[in-house]
């Protein structure tokens, strides 16, 4: 196997940084889309008179398809060129954004968002692969990754604020269409700046069987994890998880034995730094996503904050990740080790989790302060961990390595919501049941109250009077206790990952 010689895409360093600015556009749009949709969902539900199942699919179908297609698209990037795949994927994604803003029914929106997930899966592997090609200097490359991570978090933080304003002024359709002009500069400049990218000779024939096996593994498995959060395990959920694991085993076997694997697992397993970076990128998002699952509900229903106010509060906390990402290249250079900085960041995550654990009884300011520290400590992992993954891969496989990193993050996030969501929900239901039984509440009220935290607050409002106030007080206390429990479990995970980084990534420069 050989790497086809590529022309130098950008000779001037200033043009390289300009190109990085263009590559940040897809990151901003993807983050904006994910963070805004949660705010817009209630407006979409009213507009289309959706069922709960339709609402679930509107939310989940795009990230589900994104997770399923990341590694296949990364393989395409390495075989056909990052710049070519980025141009095609960005064009389709932009057109789909415009179509989503004009969909007439909920079913049509679900179909369009599924296509958006497939098109969006081309963006991250291609952009991260191009960053590897643009910046050969290790220090400049890490700085570029930190800027890229900050751009993503900026889109995530600004999404609820800008989206809330658009919802009030123009309705939910405007939240999709706003992202279109953000993508236009990349589409217009791509053919001029990213003229030629690296490809691998002899690999024009794409391994479609590996792609099918990966999709057959990831789609049912992630869907099964998401179902675990919402319902007790049933036959369909168990079937999804089992089928996903079986197909995943077949995918791994093929990658270990194929001449030109879609994902080079032999390379990952033979490099301890690469393997441990991938493991950390897989497990750490479970902390962030589990908090994102609980904290907004805590702020909105316990303290009565509006959706926009909650979004603004989370946006302020998310600034910590931007700061952590921007500081990490400088800190790693001074320390002489990326692993040490990642480990220190994860120790900071532990301190933030301790603040949240004790802060839920003190007030929302303490919870948001703890969340800020959690995001701050996670910033170095996103920047330096991704750099380790992409930089350790040989030329011509950087997009596949980037896809593996992004897939690990997506899967880890889904796993975190599933496991910690189940633990927190079970704790909440147990505490609330005991308190309501001791308060002599009617069994029908208790049964409805256990559905979810939002449902119990609506039930308390409808009851009113002393009974409604008692129900609201007990539910808030039980939910705060569940957050404390989840924070306690995630502290153990953060400390484990910190130790892992200090031991196995310490020598990674």
CATH match for 6-206 among 1.20.1250.20, 3.20.20.480, 3.20.20.10, 3.40.440.10: 1.20.1250.20
Write the DSSP assignment of 190-239 as a string of letters: HHHHS-----BTT--S--HHHHHHHHHHHHHHHHHHHHHHHS---HHHHH
Q: What is the C-alpha separation between 59 and 38, in angstroms, rounded?
A: 7
Q: What are phi and psi of 8, to 5 degrees?
A: -70, 115
Q: What is the pLDDT of residue 192?
A: 64
Q: What is the C-alpha separation between 397 and 105, in angstroms, rounded?
A: 41
The region that residue 127 occupies, defined by phi over 0 for left and psi between -120 and 50 for alpha, beta otherwise, is alpha
Point out the least confidently predicted range of 21-25, 75-79, 264-268, 480-484: 264-268
pLDDT digits over 303-332, tens only? 777 767 777 787 788 888 889 888 888 888
Q: What is the pLDDT of residue 5?
A: 39
Write the DSSP symbol of residue 384.
I
- Most confident region among 93-102, 381-390, 472-481 by mean pLDDT: 93-102
Angle at 369 between CA 367 and CA 370, to 5 degrees: 65
Q: What is the C-alpha separation between 441 and 358, in angstroms, rounded?
A: 29
Q: What is the C-alpha separation between 216 and 206, in angstroms, rounded?
A: 17
Q: At what angle do helices 285-297 and 398-438 cross, to 10 degrees?
A: 40
For residue 252, the SS3 value is helix
Q: What is the C-alpha separation between 124 and 462, in angstroms, rounded?
A: 46
Do 50 and 58 contact (CB within 8 A), yes or no? Answer: yes
Confidence of residue 195 (pLDDT cuts 50, 70, 90): low
For residue 261, the SS3 value is coil
Q: Is the pLDDT of residue 266 over 60?
A: yes
Q: What is the C-alpha separation between 148 and 144, in angstroms, rounded?
A: 6
Q: Is the pLDDT of residue 279 over 70?
A: yes
Q: What is the C-alpha separation between 251 and 377, in angstroms, rounded?
A: 34
Do 275 and 463 contact (CB within 8 A), yes or no? Answer: no
**Taking all residues of the chain, what is their mean pLDDT, rounded to a whole number?**
79
Continuous H helices in 121-172: 123-134, 138-169
Tokens of 94: 């932009």
Q: Which residue has the tokens 């389709």?
A: 92
Write the DSSP assignment of 292-352 as a string of letters: HHHHHHIIIIIS---HHHHHHHHHHHHHHHHHHHHHHHHHHHHHT-HHHHHHHHHHHHHHH
More confident position, 377 or 290: 377
pLDDT digits over 330-358, tens only? 888 888 888 899 999 999 999 999 999 99
For residue 119, the SS3 value is helix
pLDDT digits over 409-439, tens only? 777 776 777 678 778 877 888 887 877 777 6
* Domain spans in the chain, listed from the N-terminal domain onward: 6-206, 208-259, 267-509
Q: Is the pLDDT of residue 118 over 60?
A: yes
Beta-bridge partner residues of 200 = 3
User: Is CATH 1.20.1250.20 what the domain over 267-509 is classified as, yes or no?
Assistant: yes
Smallest Cα–Cα separation from 143: which of 6, 276, 13, 10? 13
The answer to whether the 6-206 and 267-509 domains have the same CATH topology is yes
Q: What is the pLDDT of residue 9?
A: 45
More confident position, 199 or 427: 427
Arithmetic mean of pLDDT, 396-404:
71
Arithmetic mean of pLDDT, 388-409:
73
Q: What is the C-alpha separation between 445 and 470, in angstroms, rounded?
A: 12
């Amino acid at each position: 196997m050989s790497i086809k010689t590529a022309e130098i895409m950008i000779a001037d360093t200033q043009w390289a940084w300009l190109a990085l600015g263009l590559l940040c556009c897809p990151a901003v749009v993807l983050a904006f889309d994910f963070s805004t949709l949660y705010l817009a969902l209630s407006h979409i539900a009213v507009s289309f008179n959706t069922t709960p199942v339709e609402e679930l699919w509107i939310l989940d179908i795009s990230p589900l398809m994104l997770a399923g297609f990341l590694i296949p698209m990364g393989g395409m990037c390495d075989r056909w060129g990052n710049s070519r795949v980025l141009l095609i994927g960005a064009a389709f994604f932009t057109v789909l954004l415009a179509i989503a803003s004009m969909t007439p029914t909920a079913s049509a929106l679900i179909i369009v968002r599924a296509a958006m997930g497939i098109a969006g899966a081309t963006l991250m592997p291609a952009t991260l692969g191009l960053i590897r090609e643009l910046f050969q200097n290790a220090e400049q490359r890490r700085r570029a990754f930190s800027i890229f991570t900050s751009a993503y978090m900026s889109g995530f933080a600004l999404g609820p604020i800008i989206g809330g304003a658009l919802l009030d002024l123009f309705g939910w359709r405007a939240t999709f269409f706003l992202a279109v002009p953000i993508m236009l500069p990349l589409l217009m400049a791509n053919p001029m700046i990213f003229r030629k990218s690296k490809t691998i000779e002899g690999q024009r024939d794409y391994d479609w069987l590996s792609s099918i096996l990966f999709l057959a593994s990831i789609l049912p498995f992630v869907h099964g994890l998401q179902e675990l959060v919402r319902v007790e395990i049933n036959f369909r959920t168990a079937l999804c998880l089992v089928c996903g694991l079986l197909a995943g085993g077949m995918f791994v076997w093929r990658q270990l034995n194929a001449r030109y694997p879609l994902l080079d697992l032999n390379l990952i397993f033979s490099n301890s730094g690469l393997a441990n970076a991938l493991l950390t990128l897989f497990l750490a998002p479970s902390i962030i996503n589990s908090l994102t699952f609980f904290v907004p509900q805590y702020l909105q229903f316990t303290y009565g904050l509006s959706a926009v106010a909650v979004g603004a509060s989370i946006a302020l906390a998310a600034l910590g990740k931007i700061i952590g990402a921007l500081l990490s290249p400088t800190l790693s250079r001074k320390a002489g080790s990326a692993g040490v900085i990642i480990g220190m960041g994860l120790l900071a995550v532990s301190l933030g989790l301790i603040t949240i654990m004790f802060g839920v009884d003190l007030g929302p300011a303490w919870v948001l302060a703890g969340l800020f520290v959690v995001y701050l400590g996670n910033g170095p992992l996103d920047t330096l961990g991704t750099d380790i993954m992409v930089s350790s891969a040989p030329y011509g496989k950087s997009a596949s390595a980037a896809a593996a990193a992004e897939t690990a993050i997506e899967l880890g996030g889904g796993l975190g919501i599933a496991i910690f969501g189940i633990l927190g929900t079970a704790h909440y239901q147990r505490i609330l049941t005991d308190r309501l039984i001791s308060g002599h509440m009617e069994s029908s009220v208790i049964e409805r109250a256990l559905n979810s935290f939002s449902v119990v607050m609506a039930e308390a409002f409808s009851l009113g009077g002393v009974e409604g106030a008692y129900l609201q007080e007990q539910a808030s206390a039980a939910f705060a206790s569940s957050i404390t429990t989840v924070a306690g479990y995630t502290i153990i995970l953060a400390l484990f990952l910190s130790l892992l980084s200090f031991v196995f990534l310490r020598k990674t420069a």
